[in-house]
Amino acid sequence: MVWRFELAQTSAKTRNDKHCVWSRDDAKFRSQCAFGKSCGSFGPAAAVGRESIAETPSLQDVGLFARLDDPTLHRLSIDAKIETFDDGAAIFRQGDAVAAFYIVVHGFVKILRIAPNGDETLITIRSDGDSLDTPPGPGGDAHRVSADALGAVCALKLPAARFVRAMQESPALADAMMRDSKARIATLIGEIESLKSQNADQRLARFILSLCPPGLDQCRFRLPYDKRHLAAQLGVTQETLSRAFAKLRDLGVRTETRAVSIDSVARLAAQCDDSGRVAPLHNSPREGG
């Protein structure tokens, strides 16, 4: 399923500027969309009239492009599409020529490295607003990783050649891409540090704390993906992950399949030192898997 961009005039009752907005003639899209409100709210419902355009998110609502000027947004909107992927579908494969630049609109995407013997290593998991690979170079590049949908996914697809020209013509876009690359590198450095300095239960506690809603001491939520992929992201085996969850029960963390309940976020957070690391639990040795 594909969406396209169009340049539309907002209602005179609200704003008089132009925006690149989602447009699709399929009146059944909202009801058929596997992502319900999350995906449907990003693009308009089927019948998008000019009076309702102002309530429709624009290309500028993509965090990466929030600071771009209208001419650059317009250039990017040409041939831009929203594509949907079923669970397990390949968005692109390692070694393939870079034909497009992708940003996750909704869902989770596995970033993988494939060894010559076919073994897969999970590098990270991308989610809403994240780019999936480095931007293409002017001479053409090959993907250094593979990207597979983890559950149903909506992704923004920008043709590589047009994106490269836009970066060359727009210092603001080039700056945005540099900031995005720096943020992704910082995230990967944090994950590497965690793998080298924390044991499995420390890594799990840190991950759980990152999912807790702000301002609540007691909370319940669902893990964003299954425990097999969580174990891979944390760099442990599923058996090690199960033991880590068992140790966290003493700190009021309980799980049932993907449902997680926390008796006291403050108590769990109190195990963290000033650098954000979680203090050792049960004096367990560090485990890498």
Structure confidence at residue 137 (pLDDT): 77
Structure confidence at residue 263 (pLDDT): 94
Query: Tokens at residue 267, please?
Result: 């108590």
Going from the N-terminus, what domains does the chain have, and what CATH number goes with each? 2-194 (2.60.120.10), 199-269 (1.10.10.10)
Structure confidence at residue 4 (pLDDT): 46
Sign of torsion, CA 10 15 20 26?
A: negative
| pLDDT block averages, 10 residues each, the chain of length 289 | 41 33 34 34 31 46 87 88 95 94 94 93 92 80 94 94 91 92 89 88 91 92 93 94 92 92 91 50 45
Structure confidence at residue 150 (pLDDT): 95
Q: What's the one-letter identity of residue 259?
A: A
Closest CA to 63 of 164, 166, 179, 153: 179
| Distance from C-alpha of 223 to C-alpha of 209, rounded to nearest angstrom | 12
Mean pLDDT across the chain, nearest whole number? 77
